[in-house]
A = this chain, B = another copy of it.
Amino acid sequence: MTNINKTPTLKIIAEIIGCSASTVSRALQDHPGISQDTKKRICEMAKKMDYSPDSVARSLQKKSTTTIGVIVPEIRHDFFSSAIDGIEDRAYQAGYTIIVSKSNEDYNREVLNTRSLTSNRVAGIIASVAQTTRDGQHFLAIRKRGIPVVLFDRVLEDVDVSKVIVDDYVGAYNSVKHLIDCGCIRIGHLSGPKHLKISNARLRGYKAALENAGIGYDDNLVVTVELDEKHGMEGVRQLLNLENKPDAIFAINDPVAVGAHKEIQSQGYIIPDDISITGFSNNPITEMIEPQLTTVDQHGYKMGQMAAELILDEINSDQVDWAPETRIVETELIIRGSTVKN
């Protein structure tokens, strides 16, 4: 599509007013060296012509953009879209725009994304890494070029950049503590695959809460499952088959909890009267089932905000070597009907 109306530039305004482009530039910036009269004339004309500065040209000259690059494994996913939302809000407040790209859980595409973003001279990159990403060289290389990098949620342990993570341990601890406070004494746990950091952190939280309450740990009450609904159903069956059944379930995440929820009900138990249950993540589903699920909010939106704040701090710092910083987002226990009668 070709341009019909020409976009106004400094030079065009300058010609109309009868001055130089520098004067127009300075007038628009309210530079002290320009007379009130000229300023007024120029500003009026600029407004009349609906002038807006060419950020491309400005970025070239300033050698920096006001754009933040974002890389996520998946866009169409409540947690990530919430995070993007949080990033956008903070960026918008600071006058920045965001370029969103997704890796599709593919390491190679993630590397390509970083190249594209650096090529676009973004002021910084916020990323949550793909499941297939093991190595963080691409992020380190960017950082060495002076572009701040913030990893959030899915971070790489051994990569020395700023990070925003959630405290899974505390989240799990509080969740289990809540079950105990509700009077449950035999709490089962549907745990995740052992190679995942979150599984271990949440399992530790579970154990600590039990110990703190003086409840003995029972190996039979912990079942390891994959992170989806189907496995939640299967896992909980094992627990319901025990002769000494649990009176509560702490599930590693919401899909697993939803699976358990269904299975428990289809076996005729009443939630929360017979068995209480809690999940993790605060997915939208948790509000849609009956009774609604008590869960741990991971605050995707909040994490996005914090990641944006962190990167803006780093961008605006003039320190040559900003030490990477890790910020931890507090989880929040959302108490609903699956643990408390309403």
Instruction: Tell me if A317 and B1 are in contact (CB < 8 A).
Output: yes
Instruction: Tell me if A81 and B76 are in contact (CB < 8 A).
Output: yes
From A117, A148, A285, A321, name the one whose CB has the most chain B CB atoms within 10 angstroms: A285
Q: In the complex, how many angstroms separate the beta carbon of A105 from the nearest chain B beta carbon?
A: 13
Give the chain B neighbours of A52 by CB distance below 8 A: 115, 118-119
From A1, A85, A92, A317, name the one whose CB has the most chain B CB atoms within 10 angstroms: A1
Does A100 have its Cβ within 8 Å of any Cβ on chain B? yes
Give the chain B neighbours of A289 by CB distance below 8 A: 288-289
Does A242 have its Cβ within 8 Å of any Cβ on chain B? no
Tell me, in angstroms, the Cα distance from A321 to B288 when the chains sit together.
49
Other-chain contact of A97, B2, B55, B116 (Cβ < 8 Å): B116
Other-chain contact of A100, B1, B54, B84 (Cβ < 8 Å): B84
Other-chain contact of A146, B5, B56, B84 (Cβ < 8 Å): B5
Give the chain B neighbours of A269 by CB distance below 8 A: none
Which residues of chain A from 74 to 108 have a CB within 8 Å of any chain B CB? 74-78, 80-82, 84-85, 88, 92, 97-102
Give the chain B neighbours of A78 by CB distance below 8 A: 76, 78, 284
Give the chain B neighbours of A2 by CB distance below 8 A: 146, 318-320
Give the chain B neighbours of A320 by CB distance below 8 A: 1-2, 4
Give the chain B neighbours of A97 by CB distance below 8 A: 99, 101, 116-117, 120
Does A200 have its Cβ within 8 Å of any Cβ on chain B? no
Other-chain contact of A144, B4, B57, B119, B258 (Cβ < 8 Å): B4
Instruction: Tell me if A85 and B102 are in contact (CB < 8 A).
Output: yes
Other-chain contact of A120, B55, B144, B148, B284 (Cβ < 8 Å): B55
Tell me, in angstroms, the Cα distance from A321 to B118 when the chains sit together.
35
